[in-house]
Amino acid sequence: MPFDEIEIPKEIRPFMLEQAQETKLGHKNGAQRQFRYKNLHIREYEDKYLVHMDRVNPHDDPLGHLVYDAQEVLVGLTSGAIGGAKIASHIYKKSNKTKKDKQIAAAAGIVSSIAIGYVGYKLAKKAKGQ
């Protein structure tokens, strides 16, 4: 659990802001549901809530949220895009430059970008301590 997250046991106090909205944005980390209220991110588990403040509200500024609160996602997207483009380019340069070669290079780029992006994301998340 990150140091900036507060655990609130459900049996001590049922906790939920009426204004908080259920959201798909954010890492669920095994939670049943998650909610947001401005910069507050609430994860609901069977026996507790985990609550933390994001620096930037993703609903107001998605790019700012990636830069300040979810760098691992940004690293994954960037590494996937760059890696996939490099692989597609390398495969196409070595081909006969037919339409089929272009399709194969594009498919290889897409598949490799997913794999490279996932590895980049996982490494960045591990470096961040999550």
pLDDT 10s digits, 28-57: 889 999 999 999 999 999 999 999 999 999
Assess whether 123 and 78 both reside in one domain: yes
The per-residue pLDDT for range 90-110, each reduced to its tens digit, is 999 999 999 999 999 999 999
Task: Please give the model's pTM, rounded to 2 decimal places.
Answer: 0.76
64 located within any domain:
no
Mean pLDDT, rounded, of the chain: 91
The Cα–Cα gap between 72 and 123 comes to 8
60 located within any domain:
no
The tally of domains found in the chain comes to 2
Confidence band (pLDDT; 50, 70, 90) for 1?
Answer: very low
Select from 89, 87, 37, 90 the least CA-distant residue to 59.
37
The Cα–Cα gap between 115 and 9 comes to 38
In this prediction, residue 60 carries a pLDDT of 92
* CB of 37 closer than 8 Å to CB of 44: no
Q: Which domain holds residue 42?
A: 6-53
22 located within any domain:
yes
Assess whether 82 and 124 both reside in one domain: yes
